[in-house]
Amino acid sequence: MAGERVNLSGARETLLMTLYGKALESRLPHSLLGDRFADEAVRKIDYDFSRLKVDTNLGIGLAIRAKTYDVRVQDFIAKNPGAIVLHLGCGLDTRIFRVDPPEGVEWFDVDFPDVIALRRKLYPSRDHYHLVGSSVTDPDWLAEVPSNRPAVVVMEGLTPYLPVEEGPRLLSRLVAHLAGGELMFDAYSHFGLKMLPLNPTIRATGAEVHWAIDDPQELERAVPKLRFFDDISAYSAERTAHMSWSAKLFIGLWRHIPALRKVGRILRYRF
């Protein structure tokens, strides 16, 4: 049977990079993510993944990042059994299946209509799971989301691709609409943003990056309801054990040199 053909370019094509990386990591004997849905999706898609230059090191790195988000979402749900989960720029990520939230949680995956259409072909539906086909910067989609329950907002791998002026506007709309909760996303400094296009995968897709965040507190000034409370480095020695020695050396330097640590990190806010 022919696979699902995809025709994505630029920032949207990077979702195939993250999907393939997680699938590769999930095939390892000691997989951290164990993402069988990602692996099955890759096998269903008619696409030359080799052009993305994704290797085992990148796959492990993507899995570590995804697991870091998964754990925080699970922690939030454990404290708020009736929570809302908003996964913005979800791409083809399978967090809904990895986290497997209880029945009281309403989960929203938001991405462009063509991405959501592809998700419907690749993944099963489930109760309390909502697929929203829209640009995350379009203000209208938020009307579909309840505003009277605690919410955790995840934006994994999204913020660098947002136009500089649209990022704070999106966050302002979110905190104005939602009852309260947590927001988490990976952010890059201006130096980090300059480094991203050096990544062979980013070069292969032609994706353009725009929004840099040097100081987590700058968002508190732009969006007064936000309160920064956590800055996560996900790459512990245990989690990077199966990477190459050169990758482990780089990550070791990255974790211990403050200027490098700010290149890319996961930021968390309350609102």
Question: What b-and-e string marks burial along 108-143, b requiring 16 or more CB atoms within 10 Å of the CB?
Answer: bbbbbeebbebbeebbeeeeebebbbbebeeeebbe
Whole-number Å distance between alpha carbons of 224 and 227: 8
pLDDT, one tens digit per residue, over 71-82 is: 999 999 999 999
Q: Is the Cβ–Cβ distance between 56 and 24 less than 8 Å?
A: yes
Q: Which helix (H) or strand (E) holds 6?
A: none
Whole-number Å distance between alpha carbons of 176 and 89: 20
Global confidence as pTM:
0.91
Confidence band of 197 (pLDDT split at 50, 70, 90) = confident
pLDDT, one tens digit per residue, over 12-22 is: 999 999 999 99
Give how many domains the chain has, as a whole number: 1
Q: Is the Cβ–Cβ distance between 174 and 183 less than 8 Å?
A: yes
Q: Which residue has the higher pLDDT, 55 or 271?
A: 271
Encoding tokens for residue 75?
Answer: 């922690």
**Residue 29, pLDDT above cutoff 70:** yes
Overall average pLDDT of the 18-41 stretch: 96
Domain span at 249? 4-270
- State how far the alpha carbon of 68 is from the alpha carbons of 71, 163, 186, 189, 266, in Å: 5, 26, 11, 20, 9
CATH of the domain at 41: 3.40.50.150
Predicted local confidence at residue 236, as pLDDT: 57
Encoding tokens for residue 142?
Answer: 């938020």
pLDDT, one tens digit per residue, over 91-146 is: 999 999 999 999 999 999 999 999 999 999 999 999 999 999 999 999 999 999 99
